[in-house]
């Protein structure tokens, strides 16, 4: 499976425009994400991610491979439901992985055709919109065009390829620089 995903900073009128597009509200979720780094290679450099996501309905372990192109966040993704995130964390620590960051957000999900639109309020970062579709080797470039066009129709024309994890790190670095200046 290929996850085809674009992201942009949301504007004041983004929620209105999502409704005007005809997207159907699905649910609101609270995410608590634990990110791990590998002892073998730095995932920041290799562009991979290993995450435990804890939601009200349960938890998942997800591995994301490096991005497949330069415009979107499309990548190979594998995921399993797990019954106990604390045991999963202990397994990863035992195997040599390190907890590198935690991200908390409130996500409002909409469906539009076969695309999932998410409006995210990220603790410490602000509001973002993500549009996501799934594809395979044969059709992921077409799916990429479709999610990019959703962004354009919402008036959000600056896609961000950085993850929330990377954005939080950038913010932290800037704050450190500001303190030094």
Q: Active-site residues: which are they?
A: 35
* 91 near its own copies, rule: CB under 8 A: yes
* 154 near its own copies, rule: CB under 8 A: no
Task: Identify whether the C-beta of residue 72 lies closer than 8 Å to the C-beta of residue 5.
Answer: yes
Task: Identify whether the C-beta of residue 41 lies closer than 8 Å to the C-beta of residue 47.
Answer: no
Residue at token pair 């909409």: 110
DSSP, res 26: E
CB of 164 to its own copies, least distance (A): 21
Residues in contact with its own copies, shown as a per-residue x/- string from 19 to 58 under the rule CB under 8 A: -------------------xxxx------x-x--------
Residue at token pair 């594998």: 78
CB of 124 to its own copies, least distance (A): 28
* 101 near its own copies, rule: CB under 8 A: no
CB of 77 to its own copies, least distance (A): 10
68 SS3 class: coil
> Smaller CB distance to its own copies: residue 48 or 120?
48
Q: What b/e string do you get for 163-174 counting C-beta neighbours within 10 Å, with b at 16 or more?
A: bbbebbeeeeee
> Smaller CB distance to its own copies: residue 70 or 81?
81
**Residue of 147, 176, 128 whose CA lies nearest to 73:** 147
Q: Tell me the angle at which helices 14-21 and 140-153 cross, rounded to the nearest 10 degrees.
A: 120
> What part of residues 104-133 is at the interface with its own copies (CB under 8 A)?
none
Applying CB under 8 A, which residues contact its own copies?
A: 38-41, 48, 50, 61-63, 65, 76, 78-84, 87-88, 90-91, 94-96
């Amino acid at each position: 499976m290929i996850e085809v995903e674009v992201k942009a900073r949301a504007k004041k009128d983004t929620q209105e425009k999502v409704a005007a597009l005809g997207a159907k509200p699905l649910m609101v979720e609270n995410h608590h994400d634990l990110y791990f780094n590998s002892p073998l290679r730095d995932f920041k450099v290799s562009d991979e991610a290993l995450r435990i996501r804890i939601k009200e309905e349960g938890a998942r372990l997800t591995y994301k491979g490096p991005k497949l192109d330069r415009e979107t966040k499309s990548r190979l993704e594998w995921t399993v439901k797990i019954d106990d995130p604390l045991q999963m964390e202990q397994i990863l620590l035992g195997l040599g992985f390190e907890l590198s960051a935690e991200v908390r957000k409130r996500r409002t999900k909409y469906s539009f055709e076969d695309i999932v639109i998410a409006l995210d309020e990220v603790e410490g970062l602000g509001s973002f919109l993500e549009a996501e579709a799934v594809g395979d080797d044969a059709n992921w470039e077409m799916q990429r065009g479709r999610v990019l066009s959703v962004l354009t129709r919402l008036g959000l024309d600056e896609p961000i390829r950085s993850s929330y994890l990377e954005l939080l790190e950038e913010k932290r670095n800037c704050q450190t620089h500001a303190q030094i200046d």
